[in-house]
Amino acid sequence: MTKPAVDYSLYLVTDSGLNHASRTLLETVEDSIRGGVTIVQLREKHLDTAAFIDLAHKVHAVTKKYNVPLLINDNIDVALAIDAEGVHVGQDDLSCLEVRALIGPNKILGISAGTPDEAQKALADGADYIGIGTCFSTQTKTDTKRTLGPIGVRQVLEAIPAPQDTHLKTVVIGGIKEDNTKRVVVHSAGANGRILDGIAVVTGIVGAKDAKKASEDLLKEFKAGHTLVSSSSSTGRVAAQQQTHVDAMIHQFPDLLTKLRSESPLTHHISNFVVMNDTANATLALGGSPIMAPCAAEAEDLSKVVSSVVLNIGTLTESWSKPVVFDPVGVGATSLRASATLRILNNMHVDIIKGNAGEISAIAKLIGCEGTESIAMRGVDSVGGFSDPAAVVRAVAKRENCVVAMTGKIDYVSDGVRTVAIENGHRYQGRITGSGCMIASSIASFAAVSPNDHFAAAVAGILALNLAGEHAGTRSDVRGPGTFRAAFIDEIENLEPLQMKSEAKVKSVQLD
C-alpha cells in the first residue's frame, strides 16, 4: 500500500458533542463530503477504545465510499485496528518519530503546530502536514496557550521552506468560519510563497443545520482566498505599474467622482472624537453621506445599510466593526494603540490602510516586515521619513495583501504590485487637525463606488482632497491655517470632476 495523495482543502474534524441534533454523526460526515470535504479526522476524546473502534469502522465505511482519507485523532490503536489512512497527534501526545515507527511509512501523519519551532520540528521528524492553530478562540479548544490570528499563522508558514522545496502541507484550525476563511487565507500568505493548503473546521460544519451547504460555502471561500493571493502575485499584473496604466486609471476619476456624488454612499465612521465634525463635513462636501457611530451595539444593524467603513483608533474602544479603511492614528505612540492595531489586523478584514510615515513604520514592525526603517512618532505625528518610501509602502501592502496609502509631502499608494506617488496637495493640509482623517473618509467614500479596485479608490480619495487643498491654498481670503480650514471644506464641495484628471500629478513608481 502506498501513501494516498491528499487534498487538504477542506478538512473536517468531528466532535460528537457539537454535532447538530437533527442528524447523526455519520450523516454529518456523508453530507459534508458531498459538500466538498476532502479529508476527515475522527476526534473522540471521551470514548473508550472499543466504542471508538466501533464508531471508526462506521465512519470509515462512509469515507471509503467517497475515496476520502480518514485520520484518527491521537489513538494509534484505533487507527491500526480499522486500517485508517492516517493519524493526527498533538504536541502533548507521542512524537512524530514514535508515531511513524508505529504506523509505518505509508500512512498520513499530521501534528499540531502553534509556533515556528514546532513547525520546523514537524518537518524534520517526517510529518506529512501540520495543523496550525489555534487561529481564533473556539469552544473546541479550551487549553490553548494563545490564539495566533492570521499574522501568527503567517509566521509559522514562513518558518518552513517554500512549497516547491518540501513535501510538508499546512492547514489552519481554530474558529474558522465562512465569514473569515478568505481573510485567513489571504492575510496568512507568506513571503516565501506559502499559502495554506487547507482549512480545518469543526463547529462550522458539524454544528451547522445543513452540513452539505456549510461545506460548499467554506470550500468556495477557501478557493476565493487562494485565487486572490495568486492573482496579487501574478506576473501578468506587473504591467499595471507602467505609467500608461496609471494614466488610464486617472482618466476614470471624473466619472468616479460623478458616481460618488450621484449615489451619495453611506459611510460608517468609527472615528476619532477630536476630528469627528471635520471628517463628517468633508464627507458631505465630497458628496458622500457619513454616519458617526462608534457604539459597538449599532454595528450589526449598520453593516446591513452602509457602503463602507472607516475605523480610526484615535479614540479607542474595545469593540470593532469590520472596516474597509483602517486609520491607525498614532499607532507608534503608545503600546495600547500598537496592541489595538495588531488585534484589528489579526481579527478583521482590512481593505485599505491609511497612515503617515510613522504609523506605516510602526505597522511594518508589528507585522514583521524585515529591514524597515523606524520612523519616530511625536504624539500622532511622524518625525522624519523613509529613504525609500515607495518600497516600504509596497512591502506592507504585499505583506498584508491589501492597499496601503501613506500620506506626507508626497503621498504613496500601493497594492503590493502597483505603486504610485501623488504630488498634489498644499502645505496647510499638514497644519490643521484632522486632514489625514479626512483623507481616510474620502478614500472610504470612493471605495464605496469602486468596490472592485480599492487601489484606484485610495488614489482618487487622496487626490480629491489634495486638489481641494491646492485650490484652497491659492484663495485670496486664505491667510493661514485657520482660514484655510474653512476654505478647504468649500473647495472639496467645489471640486469639478474633470479636475480629477486635468490637474492630477500621479506618477507610477517602478520598483525592482
Q: Which three cell numbers stand for residue 134?
A: 489555534
Q: How far is CA 208 from the centre of its chain?
A: 25
Cα-based angle 158, 163, 169 (whole degrees, multiple of 5): 85
With a CB cutoff of 8 Å and minimum separation 6, the contacts of 85 are 4, 69, 70, 71, 107, 108
135 is catalytic: no
CB 426 within 8 A of CB 469: yes
Q: Which three cell numbers stand for residue 423?
A: 504630488
Distances (CA, A) of 409 to 16, 313, 427, 484, 485: 60, 23, 8, 17, 18
Q: Which three cell numbers stand for residue 502?
A: 486635468
Cα-based angle 134, 139, 140 (whole degrees, multiple of 5): 65
Catalytic residue among 96, 135, 369, 437: 437
Q: What is the DSSP letter of 141?
A: B
Residue 134 preceded by cis peptide, ω within 30: yes
Residue carrying C-alpha cell 508589528: 366
- Phi, psi of 324, rounded to the nearest 5 degrees: -100, -50
Three-state SS for 174? Answer: coil
| Active site members | 437
